[in-house]
Amino acid sequence: MKLSLLFKQADSLIDCPISTWGWVKNISKHKEVWIININDGSTMKGLQLIYDVSGNTQEHITVDTSIKVSGTLVKSPKAGQPVELLVSRLEIMGKCDPETYPLSKGKLPIDYLRPYHHLRQRRQTYAAVSRIRSAASQATHLFMKQMEFLHVDPNSLTTNECEGGAGVFQVTENDISKPQLLKRTKNTITDISGNKQTITSDNYDWTSDHFGQPVYLTVSAQLQLEAAACALGDVYTIQPSYRAEHSNTAKHASCFMHLEIESCHFDLHDLITFGEDYIKFVIKYVLSECKEEVAALNEYVSKGLLNRLERLASSDFNRIPYEEAIKIAILKGKSIKYGEDLSSEVENCLTEHFGGPVSVYNWPIAIKSFYMKQDINNPTLCNNFDMLMPYKVGELIGGSMREDDCEKLQTMMKTKNIDGKSLEFFTDLRRYGTVPHGGFGLGFDRFVMLLTGMENIRDVIAFPATYKCPPL
């Protein structure tokens, strides 16, 4: 029986025979009785076993040995644990050598555990993060269903770069570690005597590759979502995005989970409100469904986490135009000027100034993406926003209204040197039955950082892939 189910049904299982299993988390060896605590990963609680070793000694039981046990569930005399299991049969499923096991010691710092992706989730901190992450994912789909958004799955392979210059991973079926085997393009040239000859260039012949042209891992599903929204109405997806950014900060990953929405007939402030409502909904869901996990992280990992989440779930979110944000940052002594992006330092400054989340909207279009809608009153601005969260999280959501005027979109693409060949489908959406629409993207892993109090994105992704650090 799974331990999470056992604890839920504990009252009705007293004095009943039970079989369960788990990894040994604690063991206290006495002369006649061993007291063992096991956990199967399904709950924060461990089950205490009372094992009579007379004639049954199992010398190889150590921390993280996996065992299967049968016995009788009884009420526990120990405060803080309602039941314990009187073991009648114990079977070792998998030994764990304490001499070589890297997690055999007691409390280990997060920095030490980080390289052990394949083992660290056995520690309660990472188990709590994984269950909170799962709950946040469940809450996301529940919220979107309540808001009548349709879940769609755009392809992770694309011929366009979307953001333009975001840093893309190119896809090929060939082994590029053996360049001598790669097929090259051939050119025909004519010499001064008029003789023609074919020479092999240094350029890779993409026509010989799987798709016959350059293809990339997506940096965002936004463009495809716009196509879906212009047929289906309100849509969303949550899937990996890939960015080859040479950044080793605590908030960047080469592959991250990306929640993106696209909605018809929203305006900019509707988008911001939707994002605020979503964040509050998920926080409340996590606080309701993951009480033990939040409490454990609050006590041992991130003091004050519970209070921070409760405040965010009930607080007002602030909104200011970009120009005002720059003025506030300058008054606070930050080195920034109009027309520059906001650094992490400035983002933290703004959330501290307002004492909570703040959305900065209507940025200069010169520093934003080609698809963002120009402001009707000031064409040098665009109708976009970045939602900044406190507690060192920074930008959590980036969104905008999309330019639905085909002429304006094409002009902006030329201004920003965007190749329109692979984006003909995108301009088609403006030619044939266009509608006002907008959307946003949310870094789901950063959101999990906020929900768990973890300060490094590598600690909320089970198997992170970051700059110079490939995944398993």
What pLDDT, in 10s, does the model give residues 287-296? 999 999 999 9
Structural domain including 136 reads 122-162+217-459
Q: Do residue 67 and residue 139 come from a single domain?
A: no
Calpha distance 163→79 (Å, rounded): 57
Percent of the chain whose pLDDT exceeds 70: 97
Calpha distance 260→220 (Å, rounded): 8
Q: Tally the domains of the chain.
A: 3
Residue 161 confidence (pLDDT)? 65
Percentage helix, strand, coil for the chain under 3-state DSSP, each rounded to 5: 35, 25, 40
Sequential DSSP letters for 251-285: T--SEEEEEEEEEES--HHHHHHHHHHHHHHHHHH
Query: Tokens 């020479």 appear where?
Result: 199
89: its two tokens: 């049969």
Residue 411 in domain: yes
Q: Do residue 11 and residue 131 come from a single domain?
A: no
Indicate the Cα dihedral angle 400, 406, 410, 416, nearest 10°: -10
Q: Do residue 44 and residue 139 come from a single domain?
A: no
Q: Do residue 292 and residue 157 come from a single domain?
A: yes
* Amino acid code (one letter) for 124: Q
Residue 7 confidence (pLDDT)? 95
CB atoms within 10 A of CB 107: 7
Q: Give me the sign of the Cα torsion angle 241, 242, 245, 247.
A: positive
Residue pLDDT, tens place only, 205-251: 898 899 999 899 999 999 999 999 999 999 999 999 999 988 889 99
Q: Longest Cα pair distance anywhere in the chain, in angstroms? A: 102
Calpha distance 259→274 (Å, rounded): 13
Answering whether pTM is above 0.85, one says yes
Residue 395 confidence (pLDDT)? 96
Q: Do residue 280 and residue 388 come from a single domain?
A: yes
Q: Which residues of the chain have pLDDT under 70?
A: 57, 161-166, 188-189, 191-192
Residue 426 in domain: yes
